[in-house]
Amino acid sequence: MLKTIEKIQQQITENPILLYMKGSPKLPGCGFSAQAVQVLSACGERFAYVDVLTNPNIRAELPTFAHWPTFPQLWVRGELIGGCDIIVDMYHRGELLTLIKEAIVKYNSQENHS
């Protein structure tokens, strides 16, 4: 069985767009997670998520691993983008959509060449 940090690293590696959040996209467990889901959904691409409420080990260890204390956390192509405020700000500036679209294009081109 994978250790929690190995599991986190695997999730981040395998998913071009990954949101660690409280709850699920359909039933967010907090207002910040709900806002993050809303702006990510508005970008029009599918994204993976991990519910930290049902994964207490990830909830405990991810803040230390990421050097980011709160949830949600958005990871794009293996890089921590930030939490709710940063995601929403990037969305309003048009940067989030660009980042998400580029991530999907790069991910799809890698998938087709492997």
**Residue 50: which CATH number?**
3.40.30.10
3-state secondary structure of 17: strand
pLDDT in tens, 65-85: 999 999 999 999 999 999 999
Query: So what's the pLDDT on residue 110?
Result: 81
Binding residues for glutathione, as ranges, are 22, 59, 71, 84-85
pLDDT in tens, 33-52: 999 999 999 999 999 999 99
Q: Which residue has the tokens 């990830």?
A: 58
Binding residues for [2Fe-2S] cluster, as ranges, are 30
Query: So what's the pLDDT on residue 91?
Result: 98
Establish if 64 belongs to a structural domain: yes
Tell me the CA distances in angstroms from 4 to 36, 55, 65, 111, one per residue in order: 24, 10, 10, 26
Establish if 17 belongs to a structural domain: yes
Query: So what's the pLDDT on residue 84?
Result: 98
> Between these two residues, 110 and 12, which has the higher pLDDT value?
12
Residue 82 φ/ψ, nearest 5 degrees: 145, -165
Binding residues, as ranges, are 22, 30, 59, 71, 84-85
Length of the chain: 114
How many domains would you assign to the chain?
A: 1
Query: So what's the pLDDT on residue 114?
Result: 55
